[in-house]
Amino acid sequence: MPEPARTGPSRALMLPWLCGWTLVVAPFNILIGTTAFQQVWAFTWPAADGVVVRSGVQTRDVNRLSIAYEYEVDGRTYTGTRYSYGEVGTDTRHWHKVAAELPAGTPVTVRYDPADPAESLLQPGLNGFVLSMIWFLTPFNIIAVGGWVWFLNSRPFDPGRRRCVRTIRGGYRVKLPGYSRAGCGAALVLIVTFFGSFVWAFGFTFTPPPELAGWLYVVLVAVAAGLSAWLPSPPTRMDVDTRRGVIRFPPDPTKLPFSSIRGVVVRHEEKPDSQSGVTHEYHCEFVRADSDPYHVATFGDCRSAEALAAWLRERLGLKADAGVEPLVGTDAAPIPVPGG
């Protein structure tokens, strides 16, 4: 049976898009990641008593805090001007508030680099700006990672690839197509962080309270992990235990004995899509003697479904269904393998 044209995204078109998306997102990840590391690493620096000698807000070109403080290390006096790493002039009100809290003459605790005491700052740890940028970048990173996962898993099923079939104790483990619980959790995090970024941008001009932005992010990831573990999802792997003669679909405890399977067929189904077109799906199914067909996996291309069916017939010792075409439609009953 000739395979209809696929309506899904093309791998050839997806690859340059993914490369471009990754190249755009990567520099921002490096920048924010470096800033976050510097802020957290500064917590390990020793502390020294200091005093503010200048405090104000610079409004020319960019809005940022203009501060200077003096501190002493090993009998030598240093002057520092950094409040924190990654300072960006996005919130004039925030800098005016900081300047009002730290007027000249205010005693402060200074964190300094023991390898270079002249390197110092006043606010170590993840600040509001860094955390808001983590929120902002999360949806872009999820799209990038999800896109690459789709690209790597969208190749036709090939039993000769270890990515598709690998040997385990007692048999084989087959990777099945379909969404995973991790994907559901990632989708939830993407949606919440996307809209949350607008809250930090318009409500706090990218300088939210660190405790609020930080703990909300932790709660979000925890809730997403919990929901993804709770939500049902189709099996993403199949264990063919040739030693015991059974097939399992972890974590489903169901076991299918080889002896109960009469054949392996591919059923073709057409579905309307959102663009008034047709999507083709190919369902690989077990034909059983005294029970309904058992769904194994659904593919977007006939070649992958037939490759899995042929591999299963070989492992189960079934005869090839020579001359049997994939079924068309959703109501037709699967055809058992002749002689199975």
Stretch 167-186: mean pLDDT: 87
Stretch 332-339: mean pLDDT: 36
Stretch 28-32: mean pLDDT: 96
d(CA 142, CA 186): 7
pLDDT of residue 12: 82
Q: What is the mean pLDDT of the chain?
A: 86
**Every domain of the chain and the residues it spans:** 11-31+128-154+179-230, 46-121, 237-328
Scanning the structure block, which residue is given the tokens 């659904």?
298
pLDDT band for 330, please (50, 70, 90 cuts). Answer: very low
Alpha-carbon dihedral sign for residues 41, 45, 47, 48: negative
pLDDT band for 301, please (50, 70, 90 cuts). Answer: confident
d(CA 327, CA 127): 59
Which pairing describes strands 47-58 and 107-113: parallel, antiparallel, or unpaired?
antiparallel
pLDDT band for 205, please (50, 70, 90 cuts). Answer: confident
Q: Mind listing the pLDDT tens digit for each residue in 103-120?
A: 999 999 999 999 999 999
Whether 121 shows a pLDDT value over 90: the answer reads yes
Whether 153 shows a pLDDT value over 90: the answer reads no
pLDDT band for 47, please (50, 70, 90 cuts). Answer: very high
CB 290 within 8 A of CB 256: no
Whether 229 shows a pLDDT value over 60: the answer reads yes
Whether 55 shows a pLDDT value over 70: the answer reads yes
pLDDT band for 183, please (50, 70, 90 cuts). Answer: confident
Write down the CATH number for the domain with range 237-328: 2.30.29
Q: Mind listing the pLDDT tens digit for each residue in 66-99?
A: 999 999 999 999 999 999 998 765 567 888 889 9
